[in-house]
Amino acid sequence: MNLLVFMLSTLGVSWQNSIFEFSAIQGYAVIIQGEFYRLFTSMFVHNDIIHISMNMLSLYMVGRIVERLFSSWAYLALYFISGFFGSFAYMSMTLYDGAVGASGAIFGIFGALAGFVLVHRRTMQQQFMQFMRDFGIILVINFFIGVIFPNIAMSAHIGGLVAGVIGGFIIAKNVNNLWIYIVISTLILVGVYIYLPSLYLSFN
């Protein structure tokens, strides 16, 4: 789906601008105008070939591991819920700026793997230390990329990462906790949605 949307966006500048305009996550459009579909569409649109290449490579490397450790349904839930939390984290920082990309969801998948490793750290001590070292390197690199390229939505990365770590930790303890994670996440997202208009008033 990500690749299909990206190919459509390369048909011309007008196509690219239109897709971005109607798909990007933006606080005013989602919260004030009620365009909730952007919570989904923004995860399938990317700025350029480098953006989508990095995201798809990361998703391929980590996604298949997470799907194997949990389940296909858990993987999808972690992906979309992390993406939603990333979007809401981004919208809590800005009202009018738009952003696209699956980075929040992908960082959630990284986070889910971290949550799994935390749960099973006693039975995989060597792998735990190696993973935490590699995970730390990824976070540091991402931080510096955010400093160098200020247009990157760091808040979305952080929001997705936190949601993924919590989800991975909960589900790794018991796969039946998936529905608990989905329900709690939904309630939190609804609560944030209700709160955001009052937050936007403080921006003015």
Q: Which domains does the chain have, with CATH numbers?
A: 49-203 (1.20.1540)
pTM of the model: 0.84
- Catalytic residue status for 23: no
Q: Out of 157, 185, 198, 202, which one is annotated catalytic?
A: 157
Q: Out of 103, 120, 185, 198, which one is annotated catalytic?
A: 103
Encode the chain (204 residues) as per-residue pLDDT tens digits. 554 444 444 544 444 556 677 778 888 888 888 888 888 888 888 766 776 777 788 888 888 889 988 999 999 999 999 999 999 999 988 888 888 888 899 899 999 998 998 888 887 767 767 777 777 777 776 666 665 655 567 888 899 999 999 999 999 999 889 999 999 999 999 999 898 888 777 765
107 closest CA partner among 142, 133, 72? 142
